[in-house]
Amino acid sequence: MREAASGDAARPASELSRVDVAVLAGGLGTRLATRLGELPKIMAPAGGRPFLDHLLAWLAGQGVHRVVLCLGHRAAPVLDHLRHSPPAGIEVVCSVEPEPLGTAGALAHARKLLTSDPVLAMNGDTLAEVDLAAFLAAYRAARAGMALVSAAVDEPGRYGRIEIDGDGRVLRFREKSQAEAPPYWISAGIYLLDRATLDEIAALGRGSLEHDFFERRPAGSLFAFRIAGRFLDIGTPETLALVRDGVGAYAASPDAR
């Protein structure tokens, strides 16, 4: 485990300051291998800086104080970058998995480092135009043990679609149906998980957070916070090319609902 000390930059008061954020950044990134070589996706260049820098600045700007980076076998460039360029205004702790464990396994491996209740977990290769404080407030109001941010897209492509009822509860995850019309609601890869949920995930030991955990939950147990803002992942060369100014272009949207 490595830790980068926080800087002295002023941070806005927010309930998010008491919520640990787990950033899932241990994926192999095979679709970007020709573009990034041995660099992990979270170190992809964006606006002249690693994507990681934009992501941490965005989280700090929303009031987050502590981040646990869940890293994999390509952790060395991230650890080296944090050692030489520690982020201002936010504490970063790194959890390095000994072998590929999947997103659920990464959370399981980092479980002892995640001390808040709830914990916000997010994919390290996505951008979403979302107000995280509003997401947290909606999660508490829904009295749900787990919640996700859901974005509307015109073409779900490789994303699995989610079906949501009128109360914002996820009924099921499903693949794209050609007979249905857009918009399609998908997971934006940002989640709030209470302590009991995290303990269930930790018991899995490995696997996919979405496929091996969320998709197996009873209908209605997962709350969806729908946003009208933009969503983008940088998991392919085509989508990475769309990133110009990093996460800053995806500032919180007042249209979240």
The per-residue DSSP string of 72-139 comes to -TT-HHHHHHHHHSPPSS-EEEEEE-SS--HHHHHHHHTGGG--SSSEEEEETTEEE---HHHHHHHH
Q: Is residue 39 classed exposed, middle or buried when 0-12, 13-18 and 19+ CB atoms within 10 A define those classes?
A: middle
Question: What CATH number should be reported for the domain holding residue 149?
Answer: 3.90.550.10
Domain that includes residue 13, residue range: 2-245
Q: What's the confidence (pLDDT) of residue 238?
A: 63
Is 254 part of any domain? no
Q: What's the confidence (pLDDT) of residue 236?
A: 63
Q: What's the total number of domains in the chain? A: 1
Q: What's the confidence (pLDDT) of residue 9?
A: 40
Is 256 part of any domain? no
Is 250 part of any domain? no
Is 95 part of any domain? yes
Rounded to a whole number, what is the distance in angstroms from the first to the last CA of the chain?
37
Q: Which residues, 6 or more positions from 237, have their beta carbon under 8 angstroms from its beta carbon?
A: 31, 32, 34, 35
Q: What's the confidence (pLDDT) of residue 22?
A: 98
Structure-block tokens of residue 97:
């998995």
Q: What's the confidence (pLDDT) of residue 148?
A: 96
Q: Quote the pTM value.
A: 0.85
Q: Find tokens 């009873």 and name the residue.
A: 218
Could you tell me the CA-to-CA distances from 99 to 73, 106, 147, 207, 213 in Å, in that order?
7, 10, 28, 12, 20
Q: What's the confidence (pLDDT) of residue 254?
A: 38
Q: What's the confidence (pLDDT) of residue 120?
A: 98
Q: What's the confidence (pLDDT) of residue 10?
A: 40
23 near 68, Cβ under 8 Å? yes
Average pLDDT by consecutive 10-residue portion of the chain (257 residues)? 36 77 79 63 81 90 95 91 92 94 94 97 89 95 95 75 91 69 84 96 92 91 91 68 53 42
Is 255 part of any domain? no
Q: What's the confidence (pLDDT) of residue 195?
A: 96
Is 251 part of any domain? no
